[in-house]
Structure 1
């Protein structure tokens, strides 16, 4: 184990340690400028997905369902514990830089989801599969299959194994601390619920997300709004404090502006996953008329995760008296929990435990599907899929009952680091293709077409699947 720790720590240092975050930021800024600030231009269109598409095929995964699954995956412990860590280590200014990286990441999310949609394939069951692994194969060619396999292996190792163990551990810890429920019982219940969902495939995951995600998001938002209203007089001062700390005008912690930037960028990227290559796997499952439509939807997903949900946690902490800038003491989920209790009373700790359960369970569903999609890319053996499903149940159970099983998490970050590097390399090489698709979408909007339709025949040089675009044979809606 010691040798493996050395290897994983070295990989982690080479990726997250110094290179990957600047790479993600620089590439996101480049995408934003080169695309003409596409996430800003299409911002109003993002909200259309919430209404749903009345003309969509009911047997397909809708754009809204894909949104809820991806939001369920992005929104997790990072939104509750991660924001608290960022504020503790980087001061209130870290929140500003979380917002900044989210605005940039919205473009990266749009690009990677657009490519996943462009290169998706129709399965024998009539569903769609896609994601960075398939974008690499069909966009860059068969010579890059080895790169796609590296991506798929790292996706399974980081999300399906490591992060699912972490989610089980988080739920069991919260249930033990606030409700005194033994870890064993939490593990059993969580594993059984996980099995019920994952054995139903992507359709059952989408249906579950359609219920769980709105409940968890609206519930958490309601609590945050209550706390903001209670402290509405203090809100302007908190916002001023966030901006002042972000630019070093008012130093809150050691490291000043540098610590705020580093913590804000790191925690923001860990939370919204923009550019890391995970959410495109879900984005590719959706039935849409044009690849950019789902790109816009996934950009909205980043907005919900960081600008809305993470901001809620930040205001819960900063509007209270529990957090003291620069002071040693409570951190992580405990800071969020105690801040909530400070605002509204002891009952809030039970409320937060329920929120953590919903956040974590939605992430487990999402993490499982990422593994399923990666496995389907490498093999079409149905037995392998069932083995993965049983293994995920076991991993969630072990993560819940073994509070000291930190070795399970030690390889997750390095594997995600490799995953992100592979995805970013592919995005750089395929960006000109994504820009062509975005320009096609824009041209149709300029021509008065309210709902652009992708026609594979207009792009004969691209290795697309015509069966994945049934609307190409229909007249676009004027």
Structure 2
């Protein structure tokens, strides 16, 4: 076991320590420039997904909005509550600025990776699609690269399906015990039972649940944060000034100065919004849309919601209060966020925050499960494989909730996610010309006056796309 921990520790240092974050940042900037700042160009269009008229033509299909909410439910989690607090503690207020910066760059990366996942999706049954980076590798790069897709699938199952779900179960049970005194056993049983009911219903049930849970979760949390901001509105300009000046080393709030702010902001931002990590494209591929770029724009919006909106709210709650003391040893993580909220609104808020953590973690569990299920289909077509994965994940959620020390077994999660991200970025780089081709097609149709651009499969006859998934819509 010690050898494995050392090995995975080395992998984690190699990926997250010095190779992955610079690659994600540099490649994200390259995509932003090469696409002509596409995330800004189509920013107004992102909000169209919230309108029913721009969703699936067939009510049995997963709509663009449902796919958005599933991905938001996955991206929004502990990183938005605890991760932001850690970034501020270790990097100072300036870390928030660099979280914003990496989110703006990541919006372009997410648009490209999710558009590619859409293009190479496959139709499964009458009303479902599957796809993601693994499918894009196999059908976009060719079957000789299947080994790369297998590595991706194994890492996705290990990191998201198994490891992160154990941690989510642990987070929920710990919060329920601390705030309400509920024994971990009962939380574990309830969480496993509800998760089992939803994941055995497949992606359609997951999407329907997310369509309800995620708006409640996000709107409730944002409403509380907005109250805090309004109560301290006169202090907000000063907080924004501190964020900017600390970001560029004009003020130093913690040891390490600007370097700490950049490192923590980029790291926590990437962990939170997942742009370029290769997870969200699996959900993006399930949506029924007329053109791949449409879903790419939608998933770019998901990054904006996660970091620019929700993470910013957490940051303002912390920085507008007096619990956080720059450079001082003391509370951090979720405790810092919770105590900051309590200092603004009173002790009752800790119960509200526990409920928010419950919903955040629960939405992440069902999202993580689907990522694991999608990856399993790359490894085996046997229904027994999916059944085994479902049972394993329910057991792992229960184990993580009832035996918090057991989560230490999943030390491989972050290193596996690092490998996953490197494989995904390699695939994006190799398929980037195809993504640009899609983007030019989308722009050409808009310029010609087409309100909702449509992918014509005949224009992509040289690519291995599923003609059943890309039939021209009946007008």
Shorter-chain TM-score bucket reads over 0.9
Aligned to 2:40: 40
Number of equivalent positions: 474
Distance 1:50 1:185 in 2: 37
Aligned to 1:151: 152
Aligned to 1:347: 348
CA deviations on 1:191-211 (whole Å, 9 max, x unpaired) are 001001000000000000000
CA deviations on 1:229-285 (whole Å, 9 max, x unpaired) are 111111110000100100011100000000000000000000000000000000000
Distance 1:18 1:399 in 2: 30
The answer to whether the Cα contact below 8 Å between 1:106 and 1:274 also exists between their aligned partners in 2 is yes
Aligned to 1:51: 51
Aligned to 2:367: 366
Matches within 5 A, 1:15-164: 15-52=15-52, 53=54, 56-164=57-165
Distance 2:81 2:30 in 1: 30
Post-superposition offset of 1:403: 1.7
Post-superposition offset of 1:56: 1.6
Q: Which of 374-383 and 70-79 deviates more?
A: 374-383
Deviating runs (4+, > 4 A) in structure 1? none
Distance 2:56 2:213 in 1: 24
Post-superposition offset of 1:54: 6.1
Matches within 5 A, 1:59-458: 59-458=60-459
Distance 1:453 1:408 in 2: 47
Post-superposition offset of 1:409: 3.1
Distance 1:373 1:217 in 2: 26
The answer to whether the Cα contact below 8 Å between 1:82 and 1:267 also exists between their aligned partners in 2 is yes
The answer to whether the Cα contact below 8 Å between 2:442 and 2:453 also exists between their aligned partners in 1 is yes
The answer to whether the Cα contact below 8 Å between 2:133 and 2:281 also exists between their aligned partners in 1 is yes
Distance 2:173 2:340 in 1: 21
Distance 1:219 1:281 in 2: 27
- Aligned-pair RMSD on alpha carbons? 0.9
Distance 2:294 2:190 in 1: 37
Distance 2:72 2:86 in 1: 21
TM-score (norm 2): 0.99
The answer to whether the Cα contact below 8 Å between 2:56 and 2:62 also exists between their aligned partners in 1 is no
The answer to whether the Cα contact below 8 Å between 2:83 and 2:333 also exists between their aligned partners in 1 is yes
Mind listing any 5+ residue stretches in structure 1 that lack a counterpart? none
Mind listing any 5+ residue stretches in structure 2 that lack a counterpart? none
**SS of match in other structure, 1:103:** helix
Inter-CA distance 55–207: structure 2 relative to 1 (3 Å threshold): closer
